[in-house]
Amino acid sequence: MFLVIFVLLFLTGSVFGNHWTYNDEGEWSNLCQTGKSQSPIALTRSIAILKEFHPFSMHGYGQSTTALLQNNGHSAEVRLQNIEAPTVHGGGLPGTYQLDHLHFHWQSEHTMNNYRFPLELHLVHFEQKHRNLSEAVKHPHGVAVLGVLFDLSLDDDEDFQPLLEIIDNLKETVGEPRHLKDVFSAKSFLPRDKGGFYRYQGSLTTPGCNEGVIWTVFTNTLPISPKQVKIFEAMQTEEKTALTKNYRSLQALNDRTVYLRVSPMRSSATSLELSVMLLGLSVLYSKLC
Ligand SMILES: [Zn+2]
């Protein structure tokens, strides 16, 4: 009898605690409860310290390649195939990091200036000196995640369509990767201006919540339509329940520092706006006098 119960628990993943859902965050494993550098957090200008990081150097993200997409029961996950993995360095990162995979959260995990976006993409990287992601998570600075926030737009984002067709097809099928029909390019899912971003030290946002993850969340967003967001929301978990949301609640900042790099493009736009405003004021002033 005990053996039967054990086998059942083993099969459902309950024995080793690898079975978790977004409805039972309070029961997530150790570090998720006790960690002091957890993610996600609320990103706001008022708590951030401005810092001039070097720009990012990104290589290979523009390659068009085949990709596998799967519903892992917690998210939609994309793995690039048949290419040398794209790499990133600079941007204040302490080494060179290679792309492992991409996955999505709906709604966003990080909030920016107290706003929760409809979608957040995580491009998960590991430091090249480690063999793979599972090895890298054990080391400080072993993992770097680039986060991209999506804002609602009236029009569909064309780059999303091939991905969404597959997501729609496998919404009820957990753990069975499918090939994307069209080629995939990670670059289409990064903002064109990557000069502005928040930076802090955090964790994985799913169990075991390993810390030592360097987070970058770009301040420039990409568009997505409400219709496209609905396709993500229709995905199902292993238990065939709707995965209507898959974001972890905000975590305490504790004694961490959040840095903000302001895009030079944005600040030049701001200074242009300022000069236009000053010109307007001086015209008004000259008319008054
Ligand atoms: Zn994630």
Q: Is the pLDDT of residue 7 over 50?
A: no
Q: Is the pLDDT of residue 6 over 80?
A: no
Q: Is 110 a catalytic residue?
A: no
Q: Which of 198, 187, 214, 190 is nearest to 263 (CA)?
A: 198
Confidence of residue 279 (pLDDT cuts 50, 70, 90): low
User: Looking at residue 3, what is its pLDDT?
Assistant: 46
What is the residue extent of each domain of the chain?
27-266
Summarize pLDDT for 56-107 with one digit per residue, the tens. Answer: 999 999 999 999 999 999 999 999 998 899 999 999 999 999 999 999 999 9
Catalytic residue among 54, 74, 125, 179: 74
Confidence of residue 267 (pLDDT cuts 50, 70, 90): low
Dist. CA 204 → ligand 1 center (Å): 7
Q: Is the pLDDT of residue 278 over 70?
A: no
Q: Which helix (H) or strand (E) holds 144?
A: strand 143-152
Dist. CA 258 → ligand 1 center (Å): 19
Q: Which of 281, 258, 197, 248 is nearest to 75 (CA)?
A: 248
Query: What tokens appear for 266 in the block?
Result: 């944005």
Dist. CA 282 → ligand 1 center (Å): 50
Is 27-266 assigned to CATH 3.10.200.10?
yes
Neighbours of ion ligand 1 (CB under 5 A): 122
Dist. CA 256 → ligand 1 center (Å): 20
User: Looking at residue 12, what is its pLDDT?
Assistant: 41
CA distance 23 to 245: 10
Dist. CA 103 → ligand 1 center (Å): 6
Q: How far is CA 17 from the centre of its chain?
A: 24
Dist. CA 3 → ligand 1 center (Å): 36
